[in-house]
């Protein structure tokens, strides 16, 4: 049996190599494996700004490693509108032997992927499903020897196909310890669903593109869900988000509700899906672009947001029924990662850069300068981070102060003019500040977003402005803790238009205790 398998596999490999050789000889523009200097068209979007360019592929100094160009696009099932998601270079593609970028996979799809190996071959892309060809009929005038050879060849190829297909199905249902070029062991995917791989999720509308992937609104039976799709190169972020969501006591009203995760494989393409609850109002950033908020709405959003951050930061002691909930630093806290539910309460999302602080264990990758540039605390910008748990939590609080400023800037309670929505530092530094500009203004000049005088005409807004300033203090150790921010904001909600200024003094600036007892 082993001999038969060996012969069949050898025949299949010979056939593939022969086909590749014929393809190279008939396509002189194709770039052979390991060739350097392949040029691809690039397409990427960041913060809504999409750019098209040219990218020269690099094989990372390994001449035997092939490179190729790729395109990922989506098609609206209703309007048939095609939207390109990403274009660029791809290292070590396994099945890219064409000089044209064509997806030939069968079935009705929302997402398509193709790759090729020729200069600028991904400028155009097509989806041409290959139909199954009927077998050719053998006429009666074929000589007996030719018929015998044909039958033998057909049986050999069929056997080879069966062996390869059987091996593919066998290894597909085994959990791989390593995946392609990413040296990270994938955690076991557990679910209450008896048939996880076949979840009937229909992707309806592309809602957002970000650094880690795309977010779709989807339909799962009668439930609306959000599906965040990570490309291959962001697999580690997908793994990190799973680890955060699956920690004890992460089922919290102000943390985005986790439903499940999936790894979807389609021949030459693999996607990593994260399925969560869908929030109709989208992100706080997008909501503020088109809405102003009343004082009551501001307090509801601010209190629920700070309560979610406090829960994230808090370490809760294990109980008889649940394990230890460790302290977590978000590391990319911003209005884009705060989502709004139907009742305008907030929940925190996007844990791709989060750090877990388990007592007695190292916190893992502590590369300091991560996150979104305009929300970076001064100590991050100048590279002077103290790599401790409390230092990372204070960085989140700095960003929380900037998000509170965004909320106040769109509040109507003061009776004065409400300007168009702007991101923090957008008025001072523009839409795309460089790292050097942020360092010069935030670190050296200690610049912060402007607090207008008429904001302080309302007692509650005045108190909230003071809280913001204590959140973004240049001295990290002087900043409020997330629990203190939550208590302050909950007190600010008691203010009406003309109540005297009064803040209770029973709040402290202590960071969350390293082991807190869960309140009953």
Q: How many CB atoms lie within 10 A of CB 275?
A: 19
Distance in angstroms (rounded) separating the CA atoms of residues 267 and 88: 20
Q: Which of 253, 239, 198 is nearest to 221 (CA)?
A: 198
- Sheet of 82-91, strands arranged across: 49-56, 39-46, 82-91, 67-75, 111-116
Distance in angstroms (rounded) separating the CA atoms of residues 166 and 160: 10
Distance in angstroms (rounded) separating the CA atoms of residues 271 and 180: 13
Distance in angstroms (rounded) separating the CA atoms of residues 405 and 378: 17
Q: Is 260 labeled as catalytic in the residue annotation?
A: no
Distance in angstroms (rounded) separating the CA atoms of residues 222 and 202: 11
Catalytic residue among 332, 390, 396, 473: 332
The encoded tokens of residue 186 equal 């994938």
Torsion angle of the four alpha carbons 511, 516, 519, 520, in this order, in degrees rounded to the nearest 10: 170
Torsion angle of the four alpha carbons 271, 275, 278, 281, in this order, in degrees rounded to the nearest 10: -50
Distance in angstroms (rounded) separating the CA atoms of residues 212 and 236: 10
Can you spell out the DSSP letters for 342-399?
TTS-EEE---TT-EEE-TTS--S---SS-S-GGG--HHHHTT----SHHHHHHHHHHH
Residues serving a catalytic function are 332
């Amino acid at each position: 049996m082993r001999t038969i398998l060996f012969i069949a596999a050898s025949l299949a490999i010979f056939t593939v190599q022969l086909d590749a050789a014929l393809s190279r000889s008939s396509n002189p523009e194709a770039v052979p494996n390991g060739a350097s200097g392949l040029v691809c068209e690039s397409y990427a979007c960041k913060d809504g700004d999409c750019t098209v360019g040219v990218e020269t592929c690099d094989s990372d100094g390994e001449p035997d490693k092939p490179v190729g160009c790729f395109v990922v696009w989506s098609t609206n099932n209703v309007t048939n509108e095609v939207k390109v998601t990403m274009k660029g270079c791809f290292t070590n593609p396994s099945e890219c032997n064409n000089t044209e970028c064509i997806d030939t996979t069968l079935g009705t799809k929302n997402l398509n992927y193709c790759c090729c190996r020729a200069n600028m071959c991904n400028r155009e892309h097509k989806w041409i499903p290959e139909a199954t060809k009927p077998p050719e009929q053998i006429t009666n005038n074929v000589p007996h020897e030719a018929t015998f050879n044909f039958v033998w060849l057909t049986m050999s190829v069929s056997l080879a196909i069966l062996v390869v297909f059987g091996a593919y199905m066998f290894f597909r249902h085994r959990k791989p310890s390593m995946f392609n070029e990413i040296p990270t062991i994938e955690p076991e995917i557990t679910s209450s669903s008896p048939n996880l791989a076949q979840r009937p999720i229909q992707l309806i509308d592309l809602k957002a593109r970000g650094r880690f992937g795309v977010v779709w609104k989807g339909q799962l039976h009668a439930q609306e869900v959000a599906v965040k799709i990570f490309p291959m190169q962001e697999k580690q972020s997908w793994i990190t988000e799973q680890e955060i969501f699956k920690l004890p006591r992460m089922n919290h009203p102000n943390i985005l509700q986790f439903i499940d995760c999936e790894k979807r494989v389609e021949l030459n393409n693999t996607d990593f899906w994260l399925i969560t609850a869908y929030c109709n109002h989208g992100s706080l950033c997008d909501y503020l672009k088109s809405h102003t908020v009343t004082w009551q709405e501001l307090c509801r959003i601010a209190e629920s947001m700070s309560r979610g951050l406090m829960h994230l930061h808090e370490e809760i002691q294990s109980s008889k029924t649940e394990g230890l909930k460790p302290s977590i630093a978000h590391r990319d806290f911003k209005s884009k990662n705060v989502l709004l539910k139907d009742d305008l309460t907030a929940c925190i999302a996007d844990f791709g850069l989060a750090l877990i602080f388990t007592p007695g264990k190292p916190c893992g990758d502590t590369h300091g300068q991560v996150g979104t540039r305009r929300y970076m605390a001064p100590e991050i910008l100048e590279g002077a981070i103290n790599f401790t748990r409390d230092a990372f939590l204070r960085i989140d609080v700095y960003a929380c102060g900037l998000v509170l400023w965004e909320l106040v800037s769109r509040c109507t309670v003061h009776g004065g003019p409400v300007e168009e929505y702007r991101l923090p530092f957008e008025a001072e530094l523009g839409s795309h500040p460089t790292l050097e500009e942020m360092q010069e203004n935030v670190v050296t000049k200690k610049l912060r977003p402007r607090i207008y005088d008429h904001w302080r005409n309302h007692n509650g807004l005045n108190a909230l402005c003071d809280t913001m300033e204590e959140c973004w203090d240049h001295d990290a150790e002087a900043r409020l803790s997330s629990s203190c921010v939550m208590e302050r904001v909950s007190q600010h909600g008691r203010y009406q238009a003309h109540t005297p200024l009064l803040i209770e003094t029973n709040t402290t600036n202590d960071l969350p205790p390293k082991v807190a007892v869960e309140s009953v």
